[in-house]
Amino acid sequence: MRNVGYARVSSQDQNLSLQLDALKRAGCVEVFQDKASGASSQRPGLWAALYALHAGDTLVVWKLDRLGRSVKGLVDLVAALGERGANFQSVSDGITTSGPMGRFFFHVMAAFAEMERELLRERTQAGLAAARARGRVGGRPRAMTTGKLAIAQKLLRDGIPVRDVAMSLSVSVPTLYRWLPAESFSREPEHSREQQ
């Protein structure tokens, strides 16, 4: 069972000495480092530290925010450690998952993270509903507008082949079949359908 340390500062000109000293006092046999933002996914030091951990080992940081900015990210990381049989310790915060109180703390954090996700989902749904009420619809633009549908129906009634109609409207043949009622194609000669 070993203590594996992880230290991070946000920029190249910041100093890691304070964290390194604290991790050494915490008994870390190996310390990995990053000079990168907590929001960045490019943190080779963190991934190396995680790779070095074995069952029974403990990942030690100086403070919780050294691992990242979001509660969800922290909870997910600690959960992943738990699945591998490893523990987590934050020196300054006095938190460790090796005991029942530490595990309880992270269950509470997980509950808050879940509540945060639910609140975000509710706010998103409310925002979409308000936008729809104002006539704005999210998502990808429709391939066939009302104007394109009217043009397509007229061209098909005039005997223009489906492929030519689709090409002139910059849509695919399946899109035309999906958007137009079957009777729109009833006047199309059989041989032109066979060519599709």
Report the candidate in 44, 22, 19, 24 with the shortest Cα–Cα distance to residue 34.
Answer: 44
- Token digits of residue 9: 């500062």
Instruction: Give the integer Cα–Cα distance in Å for 10 and 130.
Output: 39
Instruction: Give the integer Cα–Cα distance in Å for 67 and 76.
Output: 11
- 10 belongs to the catalytic site: yes
Catalytic residue among 10, 37, 98, 192: 10
Q: Edge-to-edge strand order for the sheet containing 28-35?
A: 28-35, 3-9, 58-61, 87-90, 95-96
71 φ, ψ (degrees, to nearest 5):
-60, -45
Instruction: Give the active site residues.
Output: 10
